[in-house]
Structure 1
């Protein structure tokens, strides 16, 4: 028998899961968050829930905000359970469920007027985002904001009825400026190097298209702190909904499953104040860049590295990929030989120990993270997670055999079938264009590197082009496993 997740049923649910120690009625909104997906509910919302459970900062609750039509389904599910979420944390040796109550409302997508009104409320002092790496309207190769994107151009032409996240944020800032209300801090929680700077470029860049004076005011007055976030959080499906019901007796329309580990490193730049997140485990530092480089290149880069060989070998779960001796050894060699050596030092951190932690986290069978999740959106993830390491090594005159193999594996995956002949289902906003380039690479490997918006200057390097072509031909002629073994034996570059 299951119990429907709701405020009224928390006493019953407390028999099998931790529930908020605070009264939900004591909370008041201080944050509007765009992008209420699984990661946000397993990360930022959990830190705030921990803080509220300490009896602190109850005026910093979250109002969710939808932008895309698909956000309506999440809003409806959460509204039907009083915006509560079941979070199931799963370590190798322990599992446990908790109910979080840090969210107290959710603005429906498509209602710009209501969203701007909420953003204009003086009580809102932080606007945060988890909109994925591809949601920032930046050129993949250069990382520079693209003011010509059709969605940005549309918001610039009609700033009073914005459709994008940045158009809504800008409209809220404009309304506050006109009313004499201090601006909120804009805080990105996405896996992008310099995510605060990237967000600043998007908001200010959009403003400059229609109101340069407003852009100048934003540059002078609005804070965009950089941050590094980390917690492996798979997608929710029938399996997760079933476990929440069967193991914990909770009828949750969209529970979140995640690993026990979590990390959040932030620059302390919040002019209008912030919750005391350090009391919930957030690390505040003067410069988050070293932590970003470490996490994005070792963890996210590691995910990107194993995604395509695992997919090509018909492996579905990440922990199963780590059980494959060739994939595990490939990842370890790539990280230790090519990625870790070009990462700047991180305060009080041994990068080899950090990689050992990542290896253990990837191997956690309880998480059931999937290879299809890691393989999606490669046109946005490769330029952010893999190619920066490639560029750094090339600039130092160092070889890129393993990193070139990662790019070749992505290209070979885009050909459309696994090594056993099964069709591959793709999830990438640029799939038609990148598949066309991958198809052309069957006859001319270097055709794939002509996508300058993805590969940039890396694609023009003669060494990279040679290594990529050799790796792709090996994949085409010998297959994925044999190519991994050639790399491990030091024969791929011969």
Structure 2
């Protein structure tokens, strides 16, 4: 296996491997994507790849805002990479060609801004994770003290953050009389389009009030809901996929058969016919967003913290334990579903059944540690919004509060056997300091962490129903451990 996957090697791939069904030489750029990680390459880029034969003007220029790793992997491959769809039935491989170019923003800042300001670019998509918006997760407002925001406001032409790049590109388009591109976030934020519009408008106001009014009045930020489980790629995946291709792929992506994309249809400069690839365009994304954030992501985070503490490496390992299956089914049915208000025809029962099967998929090695990353940014969207709704209705919160308690136990940085946990979180240092101050006391730890306003706001720490339930569950985790706590769980 000496060949590298690239344009020249496509013709020699085995017959069973799907390839781009269009002339890549005819593809031009219509989309700039910020945050070229595995999820984008397994989701939005696949939808776009499916429709480029219909309209080749929607090719993607993909940018990494931090690491050069994706560029280093894909540039020698002419932007090509493999998507592996794995299930218990086996593995299907396809080569995706929608990404025309990869840019590393810190090394080519002006090149990225030029691509975004180009009139051909009609959409800017984002998968920069919750922390990439430099906002306060508890309020959804721009964090004006964020170091990247402080930097970008001083050095407009050398931005580091996603808001900085977008607003500088919009400023250039406005100066040139070019209409703004549509900003399409595909991250797990509440009302993600409106949240991003709020963040960008405020940043633009701080640059120039006139620019702020332009962004407020002219910029379209449709809301979206994206759903596909994409574990981190392993060396074993690279080896297996390379052998199947007969060519080395430095960074394939592995995913599940299920995929969903629900989009608010507001694209003043046009859009690809993503509906031809299975995307659903709707007038209001919010019900679907709540369904996914609360059922899938809320369950995923709960499984990640409890599963990691229980010693399980993957979600599938955790779901092989019947106690965790019962816990998650109860979380979905009894605590999350009553907070959802779906449009007619939406089949929540089928969606929940599918989630359980997806979580159990042993072909996906989705590590609990990976899902546990950046919990300070994820908790408000995945669990705390549901908790607020349940408290408003004076309804039980036993399982939801257990998920929060498991996060608290996890961010202490020490597992149930006394081994160190590699906590990856933008607030990791602060959280560890608070945990150390608590000295191993569940009550003191809960009290210290409730004081992190950026996560819990002012309302939840003031509600004894919330603080009491979380503290009691945290004490159970300390006393009995995650496995026993899950197996002995009884609803309030």
On whether the aligned pair clears a TM of 0.5, the verdict is yes
1:452 is matched with 453
Q: Is 1:327 matched up with 2:327?
A: no
**CA–CA distance in structure 2, aligned partners of residues 144 and 329 of structure 1:** 37
**CA–CA distance in structure 1, aligned partners of residues 436 and 335 of structure 2:** 28
2:471 is matched with 469
Q: Is 1:67 matched up with 2:73?
A: no
**CA–CA distance in structure 2, aligned partners of residues 76 and 284 of structure 1:** 35
What SS is found at the alignment partner of 2:61? strand
CA deviations over 1:72-94 (Å, ceiling 9, x no partner): 22112111100001000112213
1:358 deviation in Å? 0.6
What SS is found at the alignment partner of 1:105? strand
Contact 1:234/1:367 (<8 A) preserved = yes
**CA–CA distance in structure 1, aligned partners of residues 213 and 14 of structure 2:** 51
2:196 is matched with 199
1:94 is matched with 90
What SS is found at the alignment partner of 1:315? coil
Q: Report matched runs for 1:110-259 at 5 Å.
A: 110=106, 111-259=108-256
Q: Is 1:379 matched up with 2:376?
A: yes
1:28 is matched with 28
**CA–CA distance in structure 1, aligned partners of residues 478 and 367 of structure 2:** 25
**CA–CA distance in structure 2, aligned partners of residues 168 and 135 of structure 1:** 12
1:485 deviation in Å? 2.7
CA deviations over 1:241-275 (Å, ceiling 9, x no partner): 11212334331000000001110000110001111
Contact 2:307/2:482 (<8 A) preserved = no
1:482 is matched with 484
**CA–CA distance in structure 2, aligned partners of residues 276 and 35 of structure 1:** 22
**TM-score normalised to the size of structure 2?**
0.96
CA deviations over 1:291-339 (Å, ceiling 9, x no partner): 0000011000110011111111111011111101111111111111111
**CA–CA distance in structure 1, aligned partners of residues 231 and 344 of structure 2:** 29
1:278 deviation in Å? 0.9
**CA–CA distance in structure 2, aligned partners of residues 133 and 401 of structure 1:** 26
CA deviations over 1:10-40 (Å, ceiling 9, x no partner): 1111434111121110101101111110000
1:42 is matched with 42
Q: Is 1:83 matched up with 2:84?
A: no
2:13 is matched with 13
Please list every run of 5 or more consecutive structure 1 residues that lacks an aligned counterpart in the other structure: none
Moved more, 293-302 or 469-478: 469-478
Contact 1:313/1:420 (<8 A) preserved = no
**CA–CA distance in structure 2, aligned partners of residues 280 and 469 of structure 1:** 46
2:101 is matched with 105
Q: Is 1:422 matched up with 2:419?
A: yes
Please list every run of 5 or more consecutive structure 2 residues that lacks an aligned counterpart in the other structure: none
**CA–CA distance in structure 1, aligned partners of residues 207 and 170 of structure 2:** 14
Moved more, 406-415 or 242-251: 242-251
Structure 1 pair 310–288 and aligned structure 2 pair: CA distance change class (3 A):
same
What SS is found at the alignment partner of 2:15? coil
Contact 1:188/1:226 (<8 A) preserved = yes
**CA–CA distance in structure 1, aligned partners of residues 219 and 412 of structure 2:** 45
**CA–CA distance in structure 1, aligned partners of residues 488 and 437 of structure 2:** 25
1:353 deviation in Å? 2.0
Contact 1:120/1:173 (<8 A) preserved = yes
**TM-score normalised to the size of structure 1?**
0.95
Moved more, 345-354 or 321-330: 345-354
RMSD: 1.5
What SS is found at the alignment partner of 1:98? strand
Contact 1:228/1:292 (<8 A) preserved = yes
**CA–CA distance in structure 1, aligned partners of residues 63 and 404 of structure 2:** 36
Moved more, 16-25 or 223-232: 16-25
Moved more, 263-272 or 352-361: 352-361
1:151 deviation in Å? 1.4
CA deviations over 1:204-231 (Å, ceiling 9, x no partner): 1111112010110111111101000111
**CA–CA distance in structure 1, aligned partners of residues 363 and 152 of structure 2:** 43
How many matched pairs?
486
Contact 2:324/2:487 (<8 A) preserved = no
**CA–CA distance in structure 2, aligned partners of residues 243 and 190 of structure 1:** 30
What SS is found at the alignment partner of 1:172? helix
Contact 1:147/1:205 (<8 A) preserved = no
Q: Report matched runs for 1:433-452 at 5 Å.
A: 433-441=430-438, 442-443=440-441, 444=444, 445-452=446-453
